[in-house]
Structure 1
């Protein structure tokens, strides 16, 4: 069983998948950084200097109870959700562009690969077998 597991782990598909997952995590961090640090300030600038992350619907205001303890506000942070939607759209567009570029390179490789030379037809092979059997 250990040998089967080793063969499974060492196959190319599993290693390729592991590399893809690790690379996807790194690319995700880069894209999220780009969206939050570059794109969202630009979008906020064109939206009148607004930061969507600060938008919220307050259900209960922050207050101080009878014992002097501060009670935090209870709010729906819908602006963060808008940021997440914008992030999703930008990440989706970036991934679309990456896949589109990858598909272009795959087409070029497929076009460059020469067609294999045509082999003998079935009739030619059968006639060779017949001639060999006659001898």
Structure 2
């Protein structure tokens, strides 16, 4: 029973739950980026370079036979994957940059000193009080 309890404590910790949520959101974001690249960005680029569908771009190493399919290097799909990665990496860069900027602002905010030095007025009033006390 000790192992189950220990696992439960580990799994319920805030960092583990936050990480799991981040992974799920990241996977969904990756699918969105893949769709944007494949369905929105690449078709106009293919049209600009002569009506080419990037997913069909490949170098045939060996033609298909009755017994075996063709052996190809699908560089069009690779180009799409690189573009996907670039967009995801840039989005993560922007998020991390924003978080770092917020952290720097927090660090730069001056904290009030624990015991601020007394002002000139306070020093003068302290001297007057001490002088009046000594006269009695």
Structure-2-length-normalised TM-score? 0.66
For structure 1, the residue ranges without an aligned partner over 5 or more in a row are: 65-69, 121-135
| Secondary structure of the corresponding residue to residue 40 of structure 1 | helix
| Secondary structure of the corresponding residue to residue 114 of structure 2 | coil
| Distance in 2 between residues matched to 1:7 and 1:116, nearest whole Å | 38
* CA RMSD in angstroms, aligned pairs only: 2.7
| Secondary structure of the corresponding residue to residue 38 of structure 1 | helix
| Distance in 2 between residues matched to 1:83 and 1:44, nearest whole Å | 11
Q: Give the direction of change, closer, same or farther, for the CA distance of 1:3–1:32 in structure 2 (3 Å limit).
A: same
CA offsets 1:82-115 (integer angstroms, 9 cap, x no match) = 221222222222222232233334445x169662
| Distance in 2 between residues matched to 1:99 and 1:48, nearest whole Å | 38
Structure 2 contact 37–80 (Cα < 8 Å) conserved: no
Q: Give the direction of change, closer, same or farther, for the CA distance of 1:107–1:46 in structure 2 (3 Å limit).
A: farther
Q: Give the direction of change, closer, same or farther, for the CA distance of 1:42–1:17 in structure 2 (3 Å limit).
A: same
| Distance in 1 between residues matched to 2:99 and 2:47, nearest whole Å | 34
Q: What is the total number of aligned residue pairs between the two structures?
A: 114
- Could you say which residue in structure 2 is the equivalent of 1:99? 96
| Distance in 1 between residues matched to 2:112 and 2:47, nearest whole Å | 58
Q: Give the direction of change, closer, same or farther, for the CA distance of 1:106–1:36 in structure 2 (3 Å limit).
A: farther
| Secondary structure of the corresponding residue to residue 21 of structure 1 | helix
Structure-1-length-normalised TM-score? 0.66
| Distance in 2 between residues matched to 1:47 and 1:92, nearest whole Å | 26
